[in-house]
Chain A
Amino acid sequence: MIKKMKIILYLIQKEFLQIKRNKAILPIIFAMPIVQMLVLVWATTSELKEVHVGYIDQDHSEISRKFYNKIDGLDCFYLQSLDASSDAIEQLHNHHLDAVVEIPLHFARDLEKGAKVYPQVSINAVNSNNAEMIKGYFENEWQRFLTEVKDQGISFHRLEFSFRYWYNPEMDFKFYMAPGILAILISLVGMMLSGMNFVREKEMGTIEQINVTPIKKYQFISGKLIPFLIIGIVDLLLGLFMARIAFGQPIIGNIGTLILGTAIYLIPLLGISLWISAISEKQQQVMFICFFFLLIFILMSGMFTPVESMPLWAQQLNYLNPQFYYIKIIRGILLKGATIMNISRELICLSCYGFIVFLIATYKYKKVS
């Protein structure tokens, strides 16, 4: 048993020596987390910066004035009053305005009577993410406005709905995106490097010398998987450190839990890339196929768009996407302080997944030349 483990250790030692000497790969391993955290997080973050709002007030009451001030008080909202007859919708089309608020006639009177009233808000939804956020702001402000009006002794019909951003109360998108970017980082580094490394041995012919030894197939696959699992974890910690110092990424949960979750996530992911390289002959093939899978994994994982808003078949397909589980794990731990118990379902699914993929990769690797 110890002797068998030792053979894996010799393989791992060899991989690290080769990575250490590789002038192309070594910088990538260290530069990627830094660049991704310093550049990509900001690039993928869709915080609202300037929202230009047209305000059409047909009521001209004290209360409608008050709502105007309420919205005007928001940091990134720039309000301008418009006439009812103005070309507000056209301006929305031309992107001069991002939203138009229209306060109907008898707004104040209806509100005091307790009738159901609400202003109409038209939002330019070319960028649906932004539109969603603008809507959120309006709903929030509308709610607060109603509460204030109520405090002043005016009764009203009913609350529309309460809206709050849980777990990211400041709505800081960086905190939300950084875990996603970290997940992409370690997936990219792990999958590409391990896959290309294996096939490189085929291209160089060194695999033949390994195939003629009595080494067991699982030992070889482990020897190819473990080094990149370690590199993935190192990159995760490096990236997290960068996020911490660059914009104060909160780390609410336990780092140990995160490392465990990451290791369990990387086994199926690296297993897939080793499976691909076991049946490929050239580095280009591996790169192309890995990229194909990575793209699907990333876009379906819920990193950029919520999984809940995908069609049902896509949600079901996501059970085959290791990153789908990992996004829940990493966001859960970093933003919500999830414990092992909270993410046990994801951990179990990934463990089973990893075990199966490892067996397939081992089976697909043929000790022939």
Chain B
Amino acid sequence: MKKKVQNNYVIEVSNLCKKFGAFYANKILSFDVKRGEIFGFLGANGAGKTTAMKIISGLQSPTSGEVNVLDYDVYHEAEKIKKVIGYMSQKFSLYEDLSVWENLRFFAGIYGLSRKMIKEKGEKILHHLDLWEHRKELVRDIPLGWKQKLAFSLATIHDPKIVFLDEPTGGVDPYVRRVFWDQIYQAQAKGITIFVTTHYMDEAEYCDRICILSQGEVVAYGAPEKLKKEYQVDSIDQLFVLLARNVE
């Protein structure tokens, strides 16, 4: 079922189900992500956010359901999906024993960037991140906030169409989080669709649209403003508490 017509959706998920043994990590999830938006994927720990995200980015295969990313099917075209997406995990997954520049060169290299491109782009990125002076330092020696912005830049170094961020702001202080969101907006301004999971409800307000998960199911889905009006709450945080209570 190719939906060439509806190409303003870059991710289409319908009836996604993922089972680990008898446990449902995701039960019948359905949602779409629009081109160029910041899409927030919210939920408590264990709600199934990371699993769903790994399925969409081709790191795991679903038990059933339909998942299309940029018109590629995750069952058979996972490797094609990987060419056009970027991914940043909770742990940032940089090589701690490589320097800032060596990490950049490595990831750019395996995405197939030419030597000249790596040099030009790498210099530009590191200057922009104020990391140029620190390019020879090992990643294990730099602060968490720097690792985070470096990891984000490396996840987008090959100009992906969509970038997946799995709890990118976990463990960093509010100021660094704010700066990081600026980086996300800059990426959006370049036309990259952002798919971000978080359990900070204030961050949900920065998203264009959100999807709240609870126990593997979608409990709320839409623009933050619209949802707040609909449930008559002042913040997403309140909405979350309300929904969590309903589930219990």
Contact = CB atoms under 8 A, between A and B. Distances in A.
Bound pair (A, B): yes
Interface of A: 3, 6-7, 9-11, 13-14, 17-18, 21-22, 204-206, 208-215, 367-369
A223 B106 CA distance: 12
Given A21-B97, A213-B110, A369-B59, A208 B82 contact: no
B95 A215 contact: no
A363 to B, nearest CB: 15
Interface of B: 54, 57-61, 78-80, 82-83, 85, 87, 89, 91, 93-98, 102, 105-107, 109-112, 138
A18 B98 contact: yes
B89 A205 contact: yes
B106 A208 contact: no
B132 to A, nearest CB: 20
Nearest to A8: B110
Contacts of B54: 368-369
B101 to A, nearest CB: 11
Given A14-B102, A21-B138, 9 more contacts: A10-B105, A11-B110, A14-B95, A17-B98, A205-B91, A209-B107, A212-B87, A214-B79, A215-B110
Contacts of A368: 54, 59-61
B50 to A, nearest CB: 10
Contacts of A9: 109
Contacts of A369: 54, 59-60
A210 B110 contact: yes
B89 A209 contact: yes
A1 to B, nearest CB: 13
Given A14-B98, A367-B59, A369-B60, A205 B93 contact: yes
A10 B59 contact: no
B93 A208 contact: yes
A18 B82 contact: no
Contacts of B57: 212
Contact of A208 (B59, B97, B98): B59
Nearest to A18: B97
A215 B93 CA distance: 16
A214 B84 CA distance: 9
B59 A7 contact: no
Given A7-B109, A11-B110, A212 B85 contact: yes
B106 to A, nearest CB: 5
A367 to B, nearest CB: 7
Given A14-B98, A205-B93, A212 B106 contact: no
Nearest to A21: B97
B93 A206 contact: yes
B181 to A, nearest CB: 22
B82 A213 contact: yes
Contacts of B93: 204-206, 208-209
Contact of B59 (A18, A204, A206, A212): A212
Contacts of A211: 59
A352 to B, nearest CB: 29
Nearest to A206: B93
A185 B162 CA distance: 48
Contacts of A212: 57-59, 82, 85, 87
A10 B113 CA distance: 11
Contacts of A17: 97-98, 102
A3 B107 CA distance: 14
B144 to A, nearest CB: 15
Contacts of A214: 79-80, 82-83, 111-112
A213 B93 CA distance: 13
Interface hub of B58, B85, B93, B105 (most chain A Cβ within 10 A): B93
28 contacts: A10-B105, A14-B95, A14-B98, A14-B102, A17-B98, A18-B95, A18-B98, A21-B138, A204-B96, A205-B89, A205-B91, A205-B93, A206-B93, A208-B87, A208-B91, A211-B59, A212-B57, A212-B59, A213-B82, A213-B110, A214-B80, A214-B111, A214-B112, A367-B58, A367-B59, A367-B79, A368-B59, A369-B59
A13 B110 CA distance: 11
Given A18-B98, A212-B59, A10 B82 contact: no
B229 to A, nearest CB: 37
B193 to A, nearest CB: 16
Nearest to A209: B93
A22 B82 contact: no
Nearest to A217: B79
B111 A14 contact: no
A51 B91 CA distance: 66
B97 A22 contact: yes
Contacts of B95: 14, 18, 206
Contact of B109 (A6, A205, A208): A6
Q: Which 5 pairs from chain A and chain B are nearest by CB?
A: A10-B109, A209-B93, A212-B87, A214-B83, A214-B82
Interface hub of A209, A213, A369 (most chain B Cβ within 10 A): A209
B91 A10 contact: no
A110 to B, nearest CB: 79
B81 to A, nearest CB: 9
A369 B87 CA distance: 13
Nearest to A201: B95
A339 B161 CA distance: 56
A5 to B, nearest CB: 11
A22 B107 CA distance: 21
